[in-house]
């Protein structure tokens, strides 16, 4: 039982590390999209300047629609989409070790060393299962955050495709 818990713990640690790496990659992708958006704005300004007659007068019949005035653009590129900074994150916790039983998992019959060893092993398994639960909660939170970030990236890419057209 202890070996299975250790294997699960190792798999959980590897998963958390991979989720962290994936989160960093998503941050880089979103940063690259922000750079692309800035470059697109600059290119659009240059195109607007080229549409002017002799570079001075705006020709009203050549005026192109400004895709930045689209409500979908504003939604995708709004500032502070991640929300405000929260200093104290809400978290679901298992509770302190003092809250759970500290022993007595095994009913004593012969009161020998085997029962003591079984009780210690079950207590270790209980602690490990609590740690695994906390890992699962952290994974769930991270996956939810990354899903929201993927939705933002999808919205930004969709809007940039509209802008390019």
Which long-range contacts link 79-83 to residues 24+ away (Cβ below 8 Å)?
81/152
Q: How many domains does the chain have?
A: 1
Structural domain contains residue 23: yes
The pLDDT score that the predictor gives to residue 85 is: 47
Structural domain contains residue 82: no
Structural domain contains residue 121: yes
Q: CA–CA separation, 89 vs 69, rounded Å?
A: 35
**Structural domain containing residue 124:** 2-30+68-77+94-164
The pLDDT score that the predictor gives to residue 97 is: 47
Q: CA–CA separation, 109 vs 107, rounded Å?
A: 6
> Sorting pLDDT into bands at 50, 70 and 90, what band is 98?
very low
The pLDDT score that the predictor gives to residue 76 is: 66
Query: What value does the mean pLDDT take over residues 103-124?
Result: 78
Structural domain contains residue 99: yes
Structural domain contains residue 104: yes
> Sorting pLDDT into bands at 50, 70 and 90, what band is 88?
low
* Residue 101 structure tokens: 């039983």
Is 57 or 25 the better-scoring residue by pLDDT? 25
Structural domain contains residue 145: yes
Q: What is the mean pLDDT of the chain?
A: 78
Q: For residues 25-58, b (16+ Cβ closer than 10 Å) or e, as one string? A: ebeeebeebeeebeebeeeeeeeeeeeeeeeeee
> Sorting pLDDT into bands at 50, 70 and 90, what band is 41?
confident
As a whole-number percent, the residues of the chain with pLDDT over 70 amount to 65
Structural domain contains residue 157: yes
Query: What value does the mean pLDDT take over residues 38-48?
Result: 84
CA distances from 9 to 3, 6, 20, 133, 156 (A): 10, 5, 16, 10, 37
Structural domain contains residue 40: no
In this predicted structure, the answer to whether residue 18 has a pLDDT above a threshold of 60 is: yes
């Amino acid at each position: 039982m202890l070996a299975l818990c250790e294997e699960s713990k190792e798999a959980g640690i590897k998963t958390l590390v991979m989720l962290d790496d994936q989160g960093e990659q998503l941050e880089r992708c979103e940063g690259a999209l922000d750079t692309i958006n800035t470059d697109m704005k600059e290119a659009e300004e240059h195109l607007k300047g080229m549409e002017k007659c002799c570079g001075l007068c705006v020709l009203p019949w050549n005026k192109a629609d400004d895709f930045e005035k689209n409500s979908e653009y504003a939604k995708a590129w709004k500032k502070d989409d991640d929300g405000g900074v929260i200093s104290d994150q809400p978290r679901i916790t298992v509770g302190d070790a003092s809250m759970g039983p500290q022993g007595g998992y095994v009913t004593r019959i012969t009161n020998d060393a085997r029962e003591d060893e079984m009780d210690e092993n079950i207590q270790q398994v209980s602690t490990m299962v609590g740690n695994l639960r906390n890992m699962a909660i952290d994974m769930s939170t991270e996956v939810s955050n990354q899903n929201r970030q993927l939705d933002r990236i999808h919205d930004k890419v969709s809007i940039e495709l509209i802008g390019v057209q």
